[in-house]
Structure 1
Amino acid sequence: MKLLQFYKYQGTGNDFIMINQMKSTVLDGSETALIKRLCDRRFGIGADGLILLQPKQGYDFEMDYFNADGHRGSMCGNGARCTVAFARSLGLEQSSYYFFAPDGPHRARLSLKKEGWFEIEMSDVLKVERGQDYFFMDTGSPHYVRFEETLHALNVEKEGRHIRYNEQFAATGTNVNFVSAAPSLPLQVFTYERGVEAETLSCGTGVTAAAIAYTLRHKLLDEPGITIPVQTKGGILEIRMDKKEDRYSKIWLCGPAEEVFQGHLYI
């Protein structure tokens, strides 16, 4: 057995186990069963995912992300903000960062608007699929977006699971976002997350997809610097982006990230 030091972080209620591997390797990512157990809310620490902070040549750090099911995941926007906050707590105090995530390089910076907020530049979105009653796109992770007249009576886990496992997405799965159809801002977004296989309080790549779908549904004109506030069950986030038809660039996911607690356990 060996002693594992861990840290628990959350970004609008999306919570993560953070492990510092900047100087030595604790986990190599092959420990699927262990990672799943660590994320279990009854038999482990409890989290929506686990993140390894580790060095990578040419970058300030690498964010190696694992879903609660123990498998490596795709990009996690809330997790990225938590990773930047974690790196800062370990002494990597900079005004901006260049790091590597599951979907490639990203920039990050401290927010000039709100204390305790971090801003992550997301990957460009160059294609949006429009169905009869949905939008589908990849914002670093695949996301299905559907607008609803009301959200609070919706069974997010039942409806989300049905879409996530239907024939269209069965091969690789998708995250599912239900968005308030009201034109007023902030948007309200409820998300079912692939890999967690449950509703989470917030999803960074999900609110990014919801904001993009909103601009298309309401036919916002092409312009730089569109700002869309988004309300999740775990708190408020903000998306800023440049829009040109169905192409989106300079997408920044902005929101809080903070340490919840830290501890040790034997593995």
Structure 2
Amino acid sequence: MMKIPFTKMHGLGNSYIYIDGFKHHLQEEDLPIIAKRVSNPYTGIGSDGLILVLPSDEAEVRMRIFNKDGSEAMNCGNGLRCVAKFAYEHQYVTERKFTIQANSGVVDAEVHVNESGQVDSVTVDMGEPILERGEIPMVTVEGSPNDYVISEPFQVMDSKQFVTAVSMGNPHAIFYVDKIEEAPIDTQGPEITSDSRFPESVNVEYVEVVNQQELNFRVWERGSGITQACGTGACASVVASVLNGHMQKGDEVTVHLEGGDLWITWLTNNHVLMRGPATTIAEGEFWIR
């Protein structure tokens, strides 16, 4: 058996177990198993998954994300903010602006430090959204256009919905509802995330437009199910809301998630900025058998 130190962190309740990959090396074949074990709230630590903070040849630091089902994810907005906090507070970076490599690419991060020297919030440039159907990816079905997926009819179970699809390095399907508390997240979410029209699966977001600067939001994440927050999903929901005429490009939008608020701006240069908190919950050690 081997004992590994860990840090549990969360961004708006979206919690992961963070491993310092600068100091500790885990076998590649063990990572999905470890992710499942540490995520289990009854026999493990309890989280939405596992994140490794690693050295990088392309950026100052690298992030690898494993969902609670053991699958590896391409990107995680809440995870990026926590990795930024971890890297700065562990002095793996010295400047407040630096780059982070995820499986989806390299992003720019800026930590905001309080008077005690701790990072309490982080801004991440999430890059440009991907809107082309084939790159999200979403399969073209009979009668659908070949370019963008904006308020497109989408049959799920026994109801007709309208979907807008966006990728932020990982795929998102956004649906609008009149009341967020009535969103069919637990019934339709698992059906949509495994729908054959999304060959790489998809994160499912339900959004209520409050006004031109506010959205209410709930999410079913592929590989994890219902979570308290999803940073990339919040970004995708603002992009979708601009595409559907609910918001203006360049305006900061407050996205109300179950775990708290994120502030998202789809800039006129086409990049998406995400600003929000990152919080350390606990530190400890777990045994790998």
2:252 is aligned with what amino acid?
T
For residues 53-132 of structure 1, what are the structure 2 equivalents within 5 Å? 53-91=53-91, 92-111=93-112, 116-127=120-131, 128-130=148-150, 131-132=152-153
Give unpaired runs (5+ residues) of structure 1. Answer: none
Instruction: Determine helix, strand or coil for the equivalent of 1:134.
Output: strand
User: 1:253 deviation in Å?
Assistant: 1.0
* Equivalent in the alignment of 1:251: 272
Give unpaired runs (5+ residues) of structure 2. Answer: 132-147, 154-161
* Equivalent in the alignment of 1:215: 242
Instruction: Determine helix, strand or coil for the equivalent of 1:206.
Output: helix
* Equivalent in the alignment of 1:183: 211
Of 238, 258, 264, the residue aligned with 2:285 is 264
2:103 is aligned with what amino acid?
P
Query: Does the 8 A contact of 1:190 with 1:232 survive in 2?
Result: yes
Instruction: Determine helix, strand or coil for the equivalent of 2:19.
Output: strand
Instruction: Determine helix, strand or coil for the equivalent of 2:182.
Output: coil
* Equivalent in the alignment of 1:192: 220
Aligned partners of 2:177, 2:112: CA distance in 1, in Å? Answer: 32
1:116 is aligned with what amino acid?
D
**Cα gap change, 1:210 to 1:112, in 2 (>3 Å):** farther
* Equivalent in the alignment of 2:158: none
Query: Does the 8 A contact of 1:74 with 1:140 survive in 2?
Result: yes
**Cα gap change, 1:6 to 1:149, in 2 (>3 Å):** same
Instruction: Determine helix, strand or coil for the equivalent of 2:180.
Output: coil
1:263 is aligned with what amino acid?
G
TM-score using structure 1 length:
0.90
Query: Does the 8 A contact of 1:186 with 1:229 survive in 2?
Result: yes
Aligned partners of 2:130, 2:195: CA distance in 1, in Å? Answer: 25
**Cα gap change, 1:122 to 1:32, in 2 (>3 Å):** same
Instruction: Determine helix, strand or coil for the equivalent of 2:226.
Output: strand
**Cα gap change, 1:249 to 1:144, in 2 (>3 Å):** same
* Equivalent in the alignment of 2:251: 226
Moved more, 56-65 or 71-80: 56-65
* Equivalent in the alignment of 1:134: 163
* Equivalent in the alignment of 1:9: 9
**Cα gap change, 1:129 to 1:39, in 2 (>3 Å):** same
**What is the aligned-residue RMSD (CA, Å)?**
2.1
Query: Does the 8 A contact of 1:76 with 1:140 survive in 2?
Result: no
Aligned partners of 1:162, 1:24: CA distance in 2, in Å? Answer: 38
Moved more, 174-183 or 1-10: 174-183
1:187 is aligned with what amino acid?
L
Aligned partners of 2:6, 2:252: CA distance in 1, in Å? Answer: 35
User: 1:112 deviation in Å?
Assistant: 8.5
Deviations 1:74-118 (A, max 9, x none): 1100000011111122123421111211101111002489x7110
Aligned partners of 1:241, 1:184: CA distance in 2, in Å? Answer: 13
**Cα gap change, 1:220 to 1:13, in 2 (>3 Å):** closer
Query: Does the 8 A contact of 1:183 with 1:218 survive in 2?
Result: no
